[in-house]
Amino acid sequence: MERRTIGAGALAVGAVGLGCMPMSWAYTGSRQRGDASMRTVHAALDEGSTLLDTADMYGPFTNELLIGRVLKERRAEAFVSTKCGLLVGEQHIVANGRPGYVKRACDASLRRLQTDTIDLYQLHRADPEVPVEETWGAMAELVSAGKVRALGLCAVGARAGRRAGARTGLHDATIRQLERVQQVFPVAAVQAELSVWSPEALVALLPWCAARGVGLLAAMPLGNGFLTGTLTPGQGFEPDDLRARHPRFTAEMMAANQPLVVGLRRVAERHGATPAQVALAWVLAQGPQVVPVPGAKRERWARENAGAAQVQLTPADLAELAALPPAQGSWD
């Protein structure tokens, strides 16, 4: 697989990463048997998808434990990205950016991951009660201590108030936050949603990254599974599936957004690919520093996603995809 570099330190990763969250969190059937999840991670590494994206809150904790079992065997082949800053309670998820907590969280992640070093340590969300510079400073100390190689930030505020067809980019608050932490220690990567049905990051965030040599990890590049073309309008989701409460996954909105899937399928047929692979190829085409991180629970999906790196969209393909109608439905 093609390798891409992120950050000023030129961290090399496979062009398509693996989002590990669905194995432990947020989707129906996420808490699947560990051996099935391990096969998925091994398959991704076999295909060259070296970036494994996890977080301490997924599970919570079980996702890192799972990845740790794989890393024990194949650490040299993997690029490990995990996150801190969110605590999962019985009813709420709260931010914690206190420096002492961040350092303890890193040590705990290292133990669960069975590794001495985290390749990319990301701040999942900033704590409104703690200046982000203080949190980021503590994370920078982890780099100095050799526990972390590089730092990243998950984009915040991207969804607030977004409506169908809006291409307004991330909120100004996100860019301001990035500018603030950049003054403390370099940002190697920003993780933000980017897909055919959510292209807002192209407006402000991607240019910001490109101008500064910062990588963009494209979260949810398959639109929470919608862009794969495998979901049927009105099929319904179990209560523990995040899509059960997602405005774009009502039967009405899924039907309204079918033209996006039809367009992806049309391009896919020309390339002998799947709609999911074309959706990922579109993300890859947005810039050399962009790395899509699609989630996958099954081995076959991880292999299919990795195959997107071989799909070379033509200018005509990209123009056709750009002409598709914007997604319908609010995001919050």
What one-character DSSP code corresponds to residue 61?
A: T
Please determine, for residue 43, whether its predicted confidence score (pLDDT) is greater than 50: yes
Please report whether residue 100 resides in a domain: yes
Q: What is the pLDDT of residues 1-15, one digit of tens each?
A: 999 999 877 799 999
Please report whether residue 98 resides in a domain: yes
Question: What are the strands of the beta sheet with 118-123, ordered from one edge?
Answer: 18-19, 51-53, 79-84, 118-123, 148-154, 189-193, 215-219, 290-293
Tell me which H or E stretch contains 198: none
- From CA 176, how far away is CA 147, in angstroms rounded? 27
Taking Cα atoms as reference points, which of 250, 196, 244, 253 lies closest to residue 222? 196
Tokens (6 digits) for 12: 């090399």
- Return the top range by mean pLDDT from 61-70, 170-179, 238-247: 61-70
Please report whether residue 327 resides in a domain: no
- From CA 31, how far away is CA 25, in angstroms rounded? 7
Alpha-carbon dihedral angle through residues 320, 326, 327, 329, given to the nearest 10 degrees: -170
Tell me which H or E stretch contains 219: strand 215-219
Please report whether residue 54 resides in a domain: yes
Please report whether residue 77 resides in a domain: yes
What one-character DSSP code corresponds to residue 224?
A: G
Please report whether residue 321 resides in a domain: no
Annotation says 58 is catalytic:
yes
Tokens (6 digits) for 105: 């969280």
Please report whether residue 255 resides in a domain: no
Can you list the positions of beta strands (E) in 92-193?
93-95, 118-123, 148-154, 189-193
Active-site residue (options: 27, 58, 101, 121): 58
Provide the domain count of the chain. 1
| Bridge partners of residue 67, in order along the sequence | none
Taking Cα atoms as reference points, which of 2, 3, 1, 12 lies closest to residue 188? 12
- From CA 246, how far away is CA 69, in angstroms rounded? 33
Q: What is the pLDDT of residues 105-161, one digit of tens each?
A: 999 999 999 999 999 999 999 999 999 999 999 999 999 999 999 999 998 544 433
The CATH number of the domain where 49 resides is what? 3.20.20.100
Please report whether residue 180 resides in a domain: yes
Residue 38 structural domain: 3-225+276-313
Q: Work out the burial of residue 87: count CB atoms within 10 Å of its CB; fewer than 13 is exposed, 13-18 middle, 19 or more buried.
A: middle
Q: What is the pLDDT of residues 222-265, one digit of tens each?
A: 999 999 999 988 888 887 778 888 889 999 999 999 999 999 99
**What's the pTM?**
0.93
Can you list the positions of beta strands (E) in 75-132?
79-84, 86-88, 93-95, 118-123
Tokens (6 digits) for 122: 């990301």
Query: What is the β-pairing status of strands 86-88 and 93-95?
Result: antiparallel
Q: What is the pLDDT of residues 86-101, one digit of tens each?
A: 999 877 899 999 999 9
Q: What is the pLDDT of residues 288-324, one digit of tens each?
A: 999 999 999 999 999 999 999 999 999 999 999 999 9
Q: Give the type of residue at 214.
A: V
